[in-house]
Chains A and B, each alone.
Chain A
Amino acid sequence: DAGVTQSPTHLIKTRGQQVTLRCSPISGHKSVSWYQQVLGQGPQFIFQYYEKEERGRGNFPDRFSARQFPNYSSELNVNALLLGDSALYLCASSLPPQGGSPLHFGNGTRLTVT
């Protein structure tokens, strides 16, 4: 079975530009979460979506936004890119978001902002 797929795998952008990252969850999973991982740190929570509604948001500025589509895929958008946005962006999917439902992660999109 296909796992969580993310595209693109790598991306280089310039400061001030905008970027859109894409995620397809595991078939049957209706919840999608986004995490940011900077070098040397553990992943940090950005957003969670379930049934196309935002169910949680981490401590990130309004430049970060996301949405979930009827097929449960998701996009993460980042506007006005800063050098500090350079990171690995991870998408994870799960069955209905409950504590006993493990998150399954994709291999991420490596974003470099120059």
Chain B
Amino acid sequence: DAKTTQPTSMDCAEGRAANLPCNHSTISGNEYVYWYRQIHSQGPQYIIHGLKNNETNEMASLIITEDRKSSTLILPHATLRDTAVYYCIVRPTSGNTPLVFGKGTRLSVIA
């Protein structure tokens, strides 16, 4: 079972920041937080991952709370092409544990 809880759906206006929350209250100190998204009819696309510190790349920013029990994925300027299902996943830092997907958050970016 997935170790994360996400809202089922969210809307965001085009050009505004999209803030997608994720709860992972049972996360352990040796587990990463990963984010993927899946646009209709495509495979999941890796976005970003982090352990303790906030992370930023060309796609998004990941903000992890100090107690690591929750995180927020931020898309700074959402476009219509960001409409997708977003998955938050917890994964051990060592070993080859597979990704465990939940149902994710369906983000709709509205013009």
Contacts and interface: CB of A to CB of B under 8 A. Distances in A.
Interface residues of A, number: 27
B59 to A, nearest CB: 12
Contact of B101 (A4, A43, A56, A99): A43
Interface of B: 2, 31-32, 34, 41-46, 49, 87, 91-104
A107 B40 CA distance: 10
29 contacts: A42-B102, A42-B103, A42-B104, A43-B101, A44-B101, A45-B99, A45-B100, A50-B96, A56-B96, A58-B98, A90-B43, A90-B44, A92-B43, A97-B95, A97-B96, A98-B94, A99-B31, A99-B32, A99-B91, A99-B92, A99-B93, A99-B97, A100-B49, A100-B93, A102-B34, A102-B46, A103-B46, A107-B43, A108-B42
A25 interface: no
A106 B60 CA distance: 21
Contacts of B87: 42
By CB atoms of chain B within 10 A, which of A4, A31, A41 has the most?
A: A41
Contact of B94 (A50, A90, A99, A106): A99
A48 interface: yes
Interface in A41-55: 41-45, 48, 50, 55
Contact of B45 (A35, A45, A99, A105): A105
B94 A43 contact: no
By CB atoms of chain B within 10 A, which of A4, A35, A42 has the most?
A: A42
A42 B98 CA distance: 13
B22 to A, nearest CB: 14
A98 to B, nearest CB: 7
Contacts of A98: 93-96
A107 B34 CA distance: 19
